[in-house]
Structure 1
Amino acid sequence: MIALKNAGLSAGWAMPVALWDAPEGFDTSARPDNRPFHTLGWRVSGGCVRRVLPPTLQTVEELTAGGFFLQSASRNLWLVASEPIRLAHFYMSEAFVQTAATEYLGGVSSQAEILHNERVMRSDPQLVPELDAYLRRAFDQEEPATRLEMDSRASLLVLHLLKHHSVAWRKIPDSKRGGLPPRHLRRVCDAMTSDLRVEVPLRTLAALVDISYHHFCHAFKVSTGTAPYQWLVETRVAHACELLRTTGHPVADVAAAVGYDDPSQFTRVFRSRRGMTPCAYRGQW
């Protein structure tokens, strides 16, 4: 396979991602820097993909439209495509997957119940939009993704895999499926808004309410209907609107006050949320 680009490796994301171009027959052993990552592979474009067993090349599974495959770090796959394809690989360390599985499944082995399943080709229409969004944000040059955003997305993706592709989901205590108690939600939101110029790490927010990192991401979304990074962006934009309405500060100063050092990036974020530029918004008042 030919590596095109990757994101998140040097930034320390919980789930780095890479794009690969693959010929009609290929294996999936390639991983960034030869690190022992587990891999979620998603076909971005191209023809039908089959998993075969060498040396006979007998077909054992087919990757359906919108499907993906899960591959453990200790396992190589041989795939055959009807034409050259492009794959996105989402990489997860064993520590990341195991921590999530332990927190949600009470110590059940992630490898045994998710990644080492004999059937590696999966189908999940609900997951595809999340993979697409993760990929687009990872390589967005105009509005670069933050560590908070990508780690939030990674945690929710792993939770989805545990929930829908693990036989052990039923073992998760009900207390871990719900949202944050109101007082905990207030404490976390106060920490996130005390200085909008600063992005508080997820692990710090989780520690404030004495729960695990993965549990926090899930519980926050249950409570607010949105992931922590999305809530923070909306809060920043809402405060920017107030400053634009009530002060004469230059747009660049408003941007800096809500955590955007680059006024152009602030304008793009603002327009995506309000449908107009900051200057146009101010002109309404």
Structure 2
Amino acid sequence: MTQPGIYGRRIGEPLNLKDAPSLITRSLRSAELAVVETRDDNPVPGLCGALPSEDAYLVSLKLRDYPDCECWERGRCVIKTDVRGGATYLYDLKRDPRYVIDKPFHSLFFYLPRSALEDIAKQSGAPRIGELAYEPGIGHHDSVVRHLGTALLDALHRPSEVNQLFLDHTMLALTAHVAQTYGGLRRNTELARGGLAPWQMKRACERLESDLGGSLSLQQIAAEFDLSVSHFSRAFRISTGLPPHQWLLHQRVKSAKQLLTIRDLPLSEIAISAGFANQSHFTRVFSSVVGVSPGAWRRDKHGATERET
């Protein structure tokens, strides 16, 4: 598990949680973004504590039903309703959102400061976003949040396997989706038409390949071309057909295949050399991309070579 960290504590402590795993990124120039998992199968009953009052939102993906939930804002109960697992709920941290804890809960919280939404609007060439449209306690069937939340839940459970590009990309996508779906953002389509120039493409790929472990952030790479993160990500995908983190994953697999041709090189060493966290991570990703395990691929490759000779 990840350590709670600053956002794990800020969101977890009001819910009486000692362990609220979190992942944090700065994929936009002026804002930290975070995802926090909160779970308690045997909670202490009572009104939860106060979350930090700031110009930011929490977007929450509920991972289990929470029937008859009593929701509070600004010191009073505003609604009592059934919260459904799989639904998305929004909270404005300026309104002192709370709820009565009286049954087990399990949720993901995405921390999105106002500055992140303003950056998305600026990078998209769109007007400033006002308040997000939501009603306390009213859920949304949001397949995008559900999909991104599932991917990040896996990352929270295996933090050693998370590369920075994946985290940056996913949180950037989540922020842009929230801005469009709940903030009325309308992208300037002119910005999304072109890919990177050939020299930019070559340099970007070289930078990514130089760090197969994925510790470089999207912000670091985009800054080399004086581009915003969202502009760089869109242009890179147009040029290659893949977002940066997926392109890097395929380069890892390509590097691993080259190393697998060395007969006696252990899979554990290949895993680390190709940028994977460990052998288990290597086997899972390689099998997903190639369709067979690294060991099976190696046996087939060497068997083919022996037949040819």
1:77, 1:157 → 2: CA distance? Answer: 21
Are residues 251 and 81 of structure 1, via their aligned partners in 2, closer, same or farther at CA, if it must alter by over 3 Å? closer
Residues 145-200 of structure 1, C-alpha deviation per residue, up to 9 Å, x if partnerless? 12222122111111111222222x22x32123345235244432232124535643
Pick from 121, 127, 131 the counterpart of residue 113 of structure 1.
Answer: 131
Q: In structure 1, list runs of 5 or more residues that go unmatched.
A: none
Pick aligned residue for 2:168 from 151, 172, 179: 151
Q: Which residue of 2 aligns with 1:92?
A: 112
Structure 1 counterpart of 2:128, one-letter code: V
Seq. identity, %? 22
Other structure's SS at 2:94 match: coil
The alignment status of 1:161 with 2:178, answered yes or no, reads yes
Deviation of 1:224 after TM superposition, in Å, equals 4.1
The equivalent of 1:46 in structure 2 is: 65
1:188 aligns with 2:209: no
- The letter for the 2-side match of 1:270 is F
Give the deviation of 1:65 after TM superposition.
Answer: 5.3
Letter matched to residue 30 of structure 1:
L
> C-alpha deviations, 1:188-241, integer Å up to 9, x for none?
223212453564321122123331013323443455454321221121112211
TM-score normalised by the chain length of structure 1: 0.77
**Alignment RMSD:** 3.6
Which position in structure 2 is the counterpart of 1:276? Answer: 292
Distance 2:234 2:44 in 1: 38
C-alpha distance in structure 2 between counterparts of 1:216 and 1:258, whole Å = 25
- Give 2:143's match in structure 1, choosing from 125, 128, 132: 125
Matching residue within 10, 15, 33 for 1:14: 33
Q: What amino acid maps onto 2:58 in structure 1? A: T
CA shift in 2, pair 1:153/1:27, >3 Å: same
* Cα distance in 2, alignment partners of residues 125 and 137 from structure 1: 19
| Gap change, CA 1:175 and 1:252, over 3 Å in 2 | same
Whether the 8 Å contact between 1:196 and 1:259 is mirrored in structure 2 is yes
Give unmatched runs, 5+ long, in structure 2.
1-14, 302-309
Structure 1 residues 224 and 28: CA distance shift in structure 2, 3 A: farther
TM-score (norm 2): 0.72
The answer to whether the 8 A contact 1:197-1:259 is kept is yes
